[in-house]
Amino acid sequence: MDYLNVKDSKHLRLEVPEDSVTYKNGRIEADFEYSEIFVPSTTQERVFDVTTKNLLDGFLKGQSCLIMAYGVTGSGKTYTIMGPEGNQGLIPRALHYIINGMGTFDFKSRFDTNEEKVTLEMSFLEDYQNCIYDLLSPTIRVGQSKPMLNARSDANGFLHIINLTEKQISSLKEGMDVIAMGTKEKHVAETKMNLDSSRSHTMCTFNLIRTNKQFMREIIATCRIVDLAGSERLNRTNASGERSQEAGHINTDLMYLMQCLRSLVDSQSKPNQRVIFRNCRLTHLLSVGEEGRGEA
């Protein structure tokens, strides 16, 4: 942080270290502009208000959304997404906001009728080394491994997770129980850069489900909140064996994700440019949010 100078809430200046190649090539500083910069004293509530609240307002009106935390290992992604007890992160705050929003007159008048009802469902999965695991599976027992799930694409390219547990949520307590179970079951391990590092990409999904009197179900909107595993440089972590293999998968996934995001930006000025989501499981899982069917 010694090299960073936050000018205001949107502008940051990087002072290039004197021992770097960039400095030796004559560049001593660089300016960057962001939609919002959060300083270390920023509260969890402030982060939620700026990054997530507007997306959830759209979700409660039927607009899908995607929220991701990306960064190097130890940068605070899981803290931001989950938060410790007493200082909740984005997922618990999102649950509160959605539950409260579904109880408002505006929501009920928009969706609930004599013929149809709208309910909330949650799922929690992880993508570990390109394999999908259900973090809410009722088959999880002490000493047993989590069941690995299969996925298939439909004619429109949407990825469907077969036998993924989806819990109907009717109260805040039920939702918090789902979050607690999902958090407990994910892959974590100690690395040189983080004593409690997430070794998988975890995704908490909220679905608004409309059901008619014939029990026909329709997803109105989906909100995905994703805690991406942290990127690492192997020469800094001294990782070996299983940790090295995990880091390799993580870095490859994040590389493909960045390629997708760059292609999406380019496609705004080049409509015929094709965005490839199937290079890895992560980008395929996120493709609905990335492709512009929702906000991110």
Which residues are part of a known binding site for ATP? 71-78
Distance CA 11, CA 295 (A): 24
Distance CA 113, CA 203 (A): 31
Q: How many C-beta atoms lie closer than 10 Å to residue 17's C-beta? A: 12
Q: Tokens 């789902």: give the residue.
A: 178
If phi over 0 gives left and psi between -120 and 50 gives alpha, with beta otherwise, what is residue 16?
beta
C-beta of residue 133 within 8 angstroms of C-beta of residue 149: yes
Q: How far is CA 41 from CA 29, 35, 85, 130, in A?
A: 25, 18, 18, 36
Query: Which residues carry a binding-site annotation?
Result: 71-78
Helix (H) or strand (E) holding 46: helix 44-51
Strands 197-198, 188-189: pairing kind? antiparallel
C-beta of residue 59 within 8 angstroms of C-beta of residue 208: yes
Give the Cα-Cα-Cα angle 248, 3, 226 (nearest 5 degrees). 40
Greatest alpha-carbon pair distance for the chain in Å reads: 71
Distance CA 277, CA 286 (A): 8
Strands 131-134, 148-149: pairing kind? antiparallel
